[in-house]
Amino acid sequence: MEVAVLGTGAMGFGMAQSLLRAGHAVRVWNRTSDRAAPLAEEGATVAGTASEAVRGADVVVTMLFDLASTEAVVTGSAAAFGPETVWVQTATVGRSGAAWLADLAADHGIATLDSPVLGTKKPAADGTLVVLASGDPAVRERVQPVYDAISSRVVWAGDQLGAASALKLACNAWVLSITTATAQSLALTRSFGLDPALFLAAIDDGPTNSPYAQLKGKAMIAGDYPASFELSGALKDLGLIIRAADEAEVRTGVLDAVRDAFATAEERGHGHDDIAAVHEAMGDRP
């Protein structure tokens, strides 16, 4: 298939690599062209504009930072979409964001699927993301080869555009809560005068263990935070989650505390580090 990838940041870059590996003809565009250029060596065509990438594509994948950037890029390139082109929207934009983009697609007569993803930079590059998808099932059939290239499985959230973005918020609430809970227990262990690694050893193999807590916990102990999922992006997501929870009348106390920890870590200079750096917010209480 002819596939355009708009946005080759941490996630979009790896997704483009996975699409190339699966044999698709891939055109990429990124606002900062240097970040897309290395994909040329892997066989992608690097486009100078989003419209140039979109023109003639069977599927357009957007993986931009947020609602505002996605809206701006798709509005600017809408005229280049063909009547059969399907737009696969994979960024995390929240419930209201997904509704907004569904209206944008309808206004321009573009068929679209709400398709946020679970997984970070490495699963994106390995083609092992989990796609959460919703929309018209007939459209899904047309984009299945793209889902196959970027993911190990698709969780179909329903025929309503936006259902997948709602599920994504629940999933990220989970991920960011257990990241913060891991940081909290490590900080407690250390502050009690114990080796923090004892906490990970204690939960290992038990029913409350998770490979994720072990992975992020080890990074926290090492104080080593190369970004898989940037802390600033998680803060953006927490804003979306808390707003949606408020609207749905779900108690936000736990999420408020998680956001507070992430905001403190950002203030301490960790915005571009991995979310494991939330650990840096736990000690030296102001």
Residue 275: CB minimum distance to ligand NAP, A? 8
Residue 178: CB minimum distance to ligand NAP, A? 15
The sign of the torsion formed by the CA atoms of 63, 7, 211, 255 equals negative
- CB-wise, 20 or 64, nearer to ligand NAP? 64
CB-based contact 171:229 (threshold 8 Å): no
Instruction: Return the bridge partners of 111, or none.
Output: 86
Count the Cβ atoms, other than its own, within 10 Å of residue 247: 10
Residue 286: CB minimum distance to ligand NAP, A? 28
- CB-wise, 78 or 187, nearer to ligand NAP? 78
- Distances, alpha carbon 238 to alpha carbons 55, 114, 259, 260, in Å: 35, 19, 6, 10
Count the Cβ atoms, other than its own, within 10 Å of residue 79: 10
- CB-wise, 3 or 63, nearer to ligand NAP? 63
- CB-wise, 7 or 162, nearer to ligand NAP? 7
- CB-wise, 181 or 235, nearer to ligand NAP? 235
Instruction: Return the bridge partners of 5, or none.
Output: 28, 61
Between CA 186 and CA 208 the distance in angstroms is 15
Between CA 56 and CA 266 the distance in angstroms is 41
Residue 161: CB minimum distance to ligand NAP, A? 17
Closest residue (Cβ) to ligand NAP? 9
Q: Which residues bind ligand NAP (CB under 6 A)?
A: 7-12, 30-32, 35, 63-66, 69, 72-73, 91-92, 117, 120-121, 228-230, 233, 237
- CB-wise, 70 or 189, nearer to ligand NAP? 70
Residue 202: CB minimum distance to ligand NAP, A? 28
CB-based contact 260:165 (threshold 8 Å): no
Residue 232: CB minimum distance to ligand NAP, A? 8
CB-based contact 127:24 (threshold 8 Å): no
Between CA 220 and CA 178 the distance in angstroms is 13
